[in-house]
Amino acid sequence: MTGRARQPLLDAISARFLREFGGPQPRLFFAPGRINLVGAHLDYNGGDVLPMAVDRGVYAAMRLRDDGRIRLRSLDQEQGFELATAAVPQRADPAFGWGNYPLGVWHGFRARTGRARGFDVVFGGDLPMASGLSSSAAIEVVTAIALDALLQTGMDRQQLALLAHRAENGYVGLRCGIMDQFASALARPGHVLWLHCAGPRYEHVPFDPQACEVLVMDTMKPRTLSKTHFNERVAQCATAHETLRAHVRDLPHLADYQPADLEAARSAMDDVLFRRARHVVTEMHRIATGVDALRHGDYQELGRQLDDSHRSTALDYEVSCRELDVITEVARGCDGVFGARLTGAGFGGCAIALIRPGIADAVAAHVGAAFEREFGVAAGFDLLHVGTGPGEVQSP
Ligand code: GLA
């Protein structure tokens, strides 16, 4: 299980661009996907998260146009889209499918900078799509980085992350927090991002690839209705927060409360709201312990926080499923696995295991066989590494 060479992918993107749109050569940009070590569903609750941008993501070949048209293509999607800049809708339109992500970013650029030039783009990537590694944020961030470079708007990475986040949150309508776009836009080689979403403030914490590797395990279970379920969790947390403010004390975010506050409000909340809030409040302690462990190079302890985080997301937050529970449980039983949990929003898709370097193939074989016996499905396995972060890709 070794990293894939990216050159064939870059060649395919450039070739498709030239075939569809003609010369001259476009410029090429990259933005990474992410896994989140601990801090599940904390970003929209004003809590902390600990994402790692990986060495996989989305590439974009882009060139500006002068005739007020936008043309969108993707190596992975049959359908492309073409429209006049004047026809870009104010909100995502289902007719534009995946094109809503880049259109949302373009829309945000126009609102912020007044620049409204059209462009041609071809996207291509090496992330499993829609499986919890944040391919949509990678599309948004790569579009933002490319438009910023080509239009010379000179925005910093945090501004680009916020713009990309608004495309997902305001334009597409997933009520997500800022984690995915920040993880992608602010990634630094050899580090994970400890992001305090309430600020937002962040710091980079070193991750030692000689001590620990990340095995991603794809259950192949589609994340059906995940947008509806996700937005429902956001609404439940908002209600739990309101109840705590009214009955206990007034703090700005749900993640700011302590377990004792929850107990004090228990009779005012139904069981579902109580458990949603308990996940958020206890996850804040797991992330503090996890960051401390990472700082001390204690990957065993970090792994334990992943295990506990998975249990809490499964039992209290109820965003897991049997496939994710089984794949993480079997992985935990393997020698050299520090810990495992679902990644991303949950509801299907991928889980991650933190493992001792060199054992990925053995773990994948064992977990894969057990998973197939249980579900009759071949799970996917991939070794991910801390990436080098986003930016322009120089042609060789
Ligand atoms: C999705 C969202 C993120 C975050 C995670 C859960 O990936 O896009 O903002 O809420 O789920 O931690």
Segment 321-341, tens digit of pLDDT = 999 999 999 999 999 999 999
Q: CA 221, 378, 375, 321 torsion: positive or negative?
A: negative
**Mean pLDDT (the chain, rounded):** 95
What are the strands of the beta sheet with 380-384, ordered from one edge?
337-342, 350-355, 213-218, 380-384
**Nearest-angstrom CA–CA distance, 195 and 211:** 23
Determine which one of 180, 308, 316, 382 is catalytic.
180
Categorize the per-residue pLDDT at 109 as very low, low, confident or very high, splitting at 50, 70 and 90: very high
Residue 351, C-beta contacts closer than 8 angstroms, at least 6 positions apart: 216, 217, 219, 310, 324, 327, 328, 331, 340, 341, 342, 343
Cβ atoms within 10 Å, residue 1: 11
Question: Stretch 367-385: mean pLDDT, rounded?
Answer: 96
317 CA distance to ligand 1 middle (Å): 13
What is the Cα–Cα distance from 318 to 272, expressed in whole angstroms?
A: 10
> Do the strands 69-74 and 118-125 form a parallel or antiparallel pair, or are they unpaired?
parallel
Q: Which residue has the tokens 């602010």?
A: 186
Half-sphere exposure of 131 (CA within 13 A, CB side): 20
Pairing of strands 213-218, 51-65: unpaired
Q: What is the pLDDT of residue 4?
A: 57
Residue reference for tokens 């228990």: 266
Ligand 1 atom with the smallest distance to the CA of 42 is: 12
Pocket mutation for ligand 1, best pick of 34, 43, 197 (most atoms within 8 Å of C-beta): 43
CA of 43 to the centre of ligand 1 (A): 7
**Per-residue pLDDT tens digits for 351-367:** 999 999 999 999 999 99
The confidence score (pLDDT) of residue 3 equals 45
pTM over 0.85: yes
Q: List, edge to edge, every strand of the sheet that includes 201-206.
A: 48-49, 191-196, 201-206
Determine whether 292 is an active site residue. Answer: no
44 lines ligand 1 (CB under 6 A): yes
Q: How far is the CA of 176 from the centre of ligand 1 (A)?
A: 6
Mean pLDDT of 356-380: 97
CA of 259 to the centre of ligand 1 (A): 23
342 lines ligand 1 (CB under 6 A): no
- In SS3 terms, 136-184 reads as HHHHHHHHHHHHHHHHCCCCCHHHHHHHHHHHHHHHHCCCCCCHHHHHH
Contacts of 329 (CB under 8 A, 6+ apart): none
Q: Report the distance separating Cα 233 and Cα 236, nearest Å.
A: 5
Sign for the CA dihedral angle at 150, 155, 158, 161 comes to: negative
Looking from the CA of residue 179, the nearest atom of ligand 1 is 9
Burial label, 152 (beta-carbon count in 10 A; 0-12, 13-18, 19+): exposed
Average pLDDT on 246-265 reads 98
- CB of 387 closer than 6 angstroms to any ligand 1 atom: no
Give the span between the Cα atoms of 181 and 163, in whole angstroms: 9
Instruction: Judge if the beta carbon of residue 180 lies within 6 A of ligand 1.
Output: yes
Confidence (pLDDT) at 130: 60
- Residue 251's pLDDT band (boundaries 50, 70, 90)? very high
Residue having the nearest C-alpha atom to atom 10 of ligand 1: 41
Rounded distance between C-alpha atoms, residue 291 and residue 293, angstroms: 5
Query: pLDDT confidence of 2, banded at 50, 70, 90?
Result: very low
- SS3 assignment for 223-240: CCCHHHHHHHHHHHHHHH
Distance 344 CA to ligand 1 centre (A): 5
| Residue 45 CA, ligand 1 centroid: distance in Å | 11
Which of 37, 41, 181 should be mutated for ligand 1, with most atoms under 8 A from CB?
41
Distance between first and last Cα of the chain: 25
Q: Which residues contact 341 (CB under 8 A, 6 or more apart)?
A: 38, 40, 306, 307, 309, 310, 313, 328, 351, 352
Q: For atom 1 of ligand 1, which residue has the closest CA?
A: 345
**Per-residue tokens: 246:** 């009214």
